[in-house]
Structure 1
């Protein structure tokens, strides 16, 4: 049988899931870098928790089409990942 098209909300959730996979790759790289460089600290742990919180809140924000909240949450998660990377390199 032919596939049914996704509902608007289901399609949004699919895009949110795809975005999670992309963000997780960067976060994983930052986490490995922090760990292997021995730069784990309270700061990097806080960044990791901020990333986690932002990504948890990102799902309903994306699913419900909250703008600009969705973009702000994405930016917070990305910034936390970036700061973890910088902490490992500096």
Structure 2
């Protein structure tokens, strides 16, 4: 397996960790009755601020994971794996790991800088695969 695919697999596991970090307090905040329902109506209670931040960080990673997956597929299928793309894949994973506490605890402006590192690393992978 290429380093890029390994980073992608670990990013998928990170997404599962993020889901757990959100789901456990969400069940506490909203109640299992609501979280196990069809959710046809809005919840009667709101998420705690930290839980809501964890949800937004999780959703943000879903969005970032789409572009990162595209980058890994292009690099892998195009047989364009290089030291640059490998380093960028690890930078993406590190940035996404740091993004969770950065978002949860409101690290400003670090949260945005961390997000930018992951985004730039992903774009670099795509551009490098075209060169």
Normalised by the length of structure 2, the TM-score is 0.66
Whether 1:5 and 2:46 are equivalent positions in the alignment is: yes
Q: Aligned equivalents of 1:42 and 1:69: distance in 2? A: 26
Distance apart, 1:26 and its partner CA: 0.3
Number of aligned residue pairs: 90
Which 4+ residue blocks in structure 1 deviate beyond 6 angstroms?
none
Distance apart, 1:4 and its partner CA: 2.3
Q: Aligned equivalents of 1:68 and 1:27: distance in 2? A: 23
Normalised by the length of structure 1, the TM-score is 0.96
- 1:49 equivalent in structure 2: 90
Highest RCO, 1 vs 2 (Cα 8 Å, sep ≥ 6): 1
CA RMSD of aligned residues (A): 1.1
User: Where does 1:1-90 land on structure 2 (aligned, <5 Å)?
Assistant: 3-90=44-131
Contiguous gaps of at least 5 residues in structure 2: 1-32, 34-42
Q: Aligned equivalents of 2:64 and 2:45: distance in 1? A: 29
Q: Aligned equivalents of 2:102 and 2:91: distance in 1? A: 16
Contiguous gaps of at least 5 residues in structure 1: none
